[in-house]
Structure 1
């Protein structure tokens, strides 16, 4: 037995993450063309070699008639003449077989941007879809791992000589592709010494990461290969960054070998001294825990910490003549959540225009004391009817219609808004009608979201299951719109005892009095998306999960039509 080889194989098995390079299928290809610009210039020859684990699986080579004379300088460079390609197939006949040859493989080329640019242009011109394949450029890779003192240049001929390629490149497509195969294998040997053993690590490899940062790969050594949340911590034990991963060890290691163009993340990795992890049952639990950790720690290097997704709400002020006001803290009877203050203000304006209510011109707390006038009212400069121009009885129907819309009891304001749009269109005020249409669509989306979120948040306990893709189940126990417990039942394990254990161990949730019962719009949104995935089943629920009969859900088709109309208008302009 070759003990040395056995030890090496064991080390690779332990060390490799993702798709091992030895198991990756590469198609190394090269083109000859009539010039340098796809479109005006054409392809004259294609050569490709398919390899995996150092073994050649197949080759592809053909001349291509570019539909134009080959310039003399190109003839002198490649030796390919117009007469040689006269009887060759046109590119539209070559593409199907070439695309089939490269299907499912990682594409490799020397100066890959040039070669893929020509093939992409040909696909676009003749109606073929360019495959979403990973691309490796051997020029780029060589510049990253080979110092200039080792090679006079990074041209294919120089690198082929450096690595002792069995084929000498000669500006013919198949020969150059064969030479590039040997160059690729030589480069993979170099990056392997740097700890790059998987396709993911190869694609993420970046030389700007210093050797000191690469040595920090050890921070990921003890992390589990399980889904969860990871936390980079700094010298003072502060949380620098929070993220989620389906495989914690694989994802964290990518920070030390990966191509990270964001300067702040490279800076974060340089500061990190420890990586903690929270192992999760499945991806839903990881996503929810990430949201909670972001809210708790506000890590300096997470964008979402600097720009938190705080929701805005539209409420009726608690006054004799209520007005529509935009607030940050919701209470019972609030409409939202809206992503931005401007969006909430637009929604309030649409409701005001459809009902006759007025919007408050200054921000009033959601719990404003009944009968207390605002500063503008005291100065006699408020446009709302609280100064006594209407009686309470005259004003009450408008207030009730908005309250009914928020509660899902009625949708008269939406009908009124559509009538106003129709009137604008009939009067040929098309631009104004289109603007109102888009504003109303935004309002309906927010009302629909409010009804969906409130319906889920109102349920004391709901247990749902999602197939894990391997014959097992992923479970989530939700209480008042929050994830209270999560677990899995692998294939062959009876699921209901697992469900009972999860319910018994679930977090106790005390509901609030706001529309989301104390939950956050972000977490409830994550739960709704998970519950809406194909195959998810409801296992138990403490009360029926139902949306209001007169809610905004029935308006979704109108919103879709409005969106389609908007797209057509953009296309026309």
Structure 2
């Protein structure tokens, strides 16, 4: 498909390539293991720089590797270590396209070394000459795709020797020969080369024009099928660039390829910033439930723990939120764990038998009367005697008393002191799950209770991104670029914001996932509250004071898994 002028990108003749090759000890990628780095910088077919050094891998080099490369342990003893070499190599390669033969190997080692020594991987474009050769050359053209065979085929000036700089020089000649071949099929820019590398069907390439009308702005995109149904919903910082990637084979997931094959058009919704795009995506997933989004299978994936409405209430796990609910929890299993932990701490009954009230001192539980249930529940209590257990639950949910949490922790401590360590660890993990539900309930409910709140986040360029939040929903979003007075923008956003009437439940009708997204954005470092209609405060008896205990529990859990 012929590209438009603005899509031509960077001509290959103006692109700077850094062709790199590594020698290693043969160990898997990690912080150490590199024994030599060789790199050649080229542009327009000319060599403009070379980089070569041995590297101390901090480990002996195995004999078979010595036989292959000729690099011995004695040769690298005086060489610099990788943490000293990396800054120089990253500076040499800065702003360039990395090229390697079987690039996954070389780039994998470089990324692992950066990660192991605290250097940020710059995420450069990468061209693999092995993949490019397999796209360009048929089996009739070459007997092998190994570097030595390709170097011989193209008449490389340097013979590969399993030494880094020699192999990098040979790869330069292979790269140039392959680029000459792809030029004959219309690949003349870096962007076209990166699009050409994956195995893309002609049908996918023909559909690339479906992204041409999209702006290079943040937003939400919708792929629509033959009947204009929504097939897939996603977000992007740059709508045009992200959607074009679907037609270049960069996403190898089978279901996404199938979706692209069905798509007839792409609709874009421009957003002020990433937060607005994320919220719009959630709402569109809930409205359309597109077949190719995994999240759309259950867009309101929240579970709650509630007290049943009967004389002797018990805890039940439900999907429908209502007043007095604890949660949300991300799964039914987690909600069940929290319910069991809370029932144990408050001595609520756990059987599912419906027990009616039958007088002040009645013992209505048949199972208890028959001696088939020894649980401390309504079978041995009157309604009045059972009421304190119910109050412990409601007080915890509302944040007025967290005695139930202390009771659960004391039980964990008692089990540990009695050296019942496995049981103590299980109860500890159950309490962690309960605490997460309590914390999430209190934080989200506190946000949802505010009629109107305006937050501002720096956009990184001297401007501000604004969000108007009403009862846990995004009501309006906008930006004030650098140099634009922010408060008139805020006033305009508030005046045009969506009217939100509070609904039932602790979240006042807001979707748990949307409220969670807003909460995370509002509590990010650097975000400021411009104004709030009522004070934003969380319960004093919530989970906030339990953070040190949660940190210790997380450490203990990690050590147990390591052990």
Bin of the TM-score, shorter chain as denominator length: 0.7 to 0.9
Does 1:535 find its partner at 2:522?
no
The partner residue of 1:455 within 440, 443, 446 is 446
Mapping 1:246-395, distance limit 5 Å: 246-359=237-350, 361=352, 380-381=366-367, 389-395=380-386
Question: Greater shift after overlay, 50-59 or 207-216?
Answer: 50-59
Return the alpha-carbon distance in structure 1 between the equivalents of residues 109 and 90 of structure 2.
17
Return the alpha-carbon distance in structure 2 between the equivalents of residues 144 and 313 of structure 1.
53
String of CA shifts for 1:441-490, please: whole Å, max 9, x gaps.
Answer: 11111100100000001111111111111111111111110001111111
Mapping 1:26-425, distance limit 5 Å: 26-31=17-22, 46-51=37-42, 56-62=47-53, 74=67, 80=70, 88-90=75-77, 93=80, 95-103=82-90, 105=93, 107-115=98-106, 128=117, 132=121, 133=123, 135-160=126-151, 165=156, 167-169=158-160, 171-187=162-178, 197-198=189-190, 207-359=198-350, 361=352, 380-381=366-367, 389-425=380-416
Return the alpha-carbon distance in structure 2 between the equivalents of residues 252 and 423 of structure 1.
57
Q: Partner of 1:347: helix, strand, or coil?
A: helix
Q: Which runs of 5+ in 2 are unaligned?
A: none
Deviation at 1:88, TM superposition (A): 3.3
| Residue of structure 2 in register with 1:487 after alignment | 478
Question: Greater shift after overlay, 256-265 or 302-311?
Answer: 302-311
Q: Which runs of 5+ in 1 are unaligned?
A: 1-7
Tell me, yes or no, if the aligned pair for 1:228 and 1:283 is still in contact at 8 Å: yes
Deviation at 1:186, TM superposition (A): 4.5
Tell me, yes or no, if the aligned pair for 1:320 and 1:386 is still in contact at 8 Å: no
String of CA shifts for 1:15-61, please: whole Å, max 9, x gaps.
Answer: 33xx987776543223457889899xx87754221345655442123
Change beyond 3 A, Cα 1:23–1:338: farther
Does 1:15 find its partner at 2:8?
yes
Return the alpha-carbon distance in structure 2 between the equivalents of residues 244 and 515 of structure 1.
29
Question: Greater shift after overlay, 501-510 or 92-101?
Answer: 92-101
Deviation at 1:263, TM superposition (A): 0.5
Deviation at 1:308, TM superposition (A): 3.8
Question: Greater shift after overlay, 254-263 or 175-184?
Answer: 175-184
Q: Partner of 2:210: helix, strand, or coil?
A: helix
String of CA shifts for 1:56-103, please: whole Å, max 9, x gaps.
Answer: 44212346789569669947xx7x5x7xx6873338625345423331
| Residue of structure 2 in register with 1:563 after alignment | 554
Question: Greater shift after overlay, 479-488 or 155-164?
Answer: 155-164
Return the alpha-carbon distance in structure 1 between the equivalents of residues 36 and 526 of structure 2.
48
The partner residue of 1:478 within 449, 457, 469 is 469
Deviation at 1:208, TM superposition (A): 3.2
Tell me, yes or no, if the aligned pair for 1:95 and 1:123 is still in contact at 8 Å: no
Return the alpha-carbon distance in structure 2 between the equivalents of residues 74 and 395 of structure 1.
80
Question: Greater shift after overlay, 160-169 or 526-535?
Answer: 160-169
Tell me, yes or no, if the aligned pair for 1:424 and 1:432 is still in contact at 8 Å: yes
Deviation at 1:109, TM superposition (A): 1.9
Change beyond 3 A, Cα 1:196–1:331: farther
Change beyond 3 A, Cα 1:109–1:208: closer
Does 1:513 find its partner at 2:509?
no
Q: In angstroms, what is the RMSD of aligned CA positions?
A: 3.7
| Residue of structure 1 in register with 2:425 after alignment | 434
Tell me, yes or no, if the aligned pair for 2:61 and 2:73 is still in contact at 8 Å: no
Q: Partner of 2:20: helix, strand, or coil?
A: strand
Give the TM-score taking structure 2 as reference length.
0.85
| Residue of structure 2 in register with 1:4 after alignment | none
Question: Greater shift after overlay, 302-311 or 351-360?
Answer: 302-311
Return the alpha-carbon distance in structure 2 between the equivalents of residues 194 and 312 of structure 1.
54
Change beyond 3 A, Cα 1:511–1:391: same
Deviation at 1:360, TM superposition (A): 5.2
Tell me, yes or no, if the aligned pair for 1:34 and 1:71 is still in contact at 8 Å: no
Tell me, yes or no, if the aligned pair for 2:86 and 2:114 is still in contact at 8 Å: no
String of CA shifts for 1:475-517, please: whole Å, max 9, x gaps.
Answer: 1111110001111111111111111111111111121111111
Change beyond 3 A, Cα 1:95–1:419: closer
Deviation at 1:258, TM superposition (A): 3.0
| Residue of structure 2 in register with 1:3 after alignment | none
Deviation at 1:212, TM superposition (A): 1.6
Q: Partner of 1:319: helix, strand, or coil?
A: coil
Return the alpha-carbon distance in structure 1 between the equivalents of residues 524 and 229 of structure 2.
36
Mapping 1:547-562, distance limit 5 Å: 547-562=538-553
Question: Greater shift after overlay, 109-118 or 498-507?
Answer: 109-118
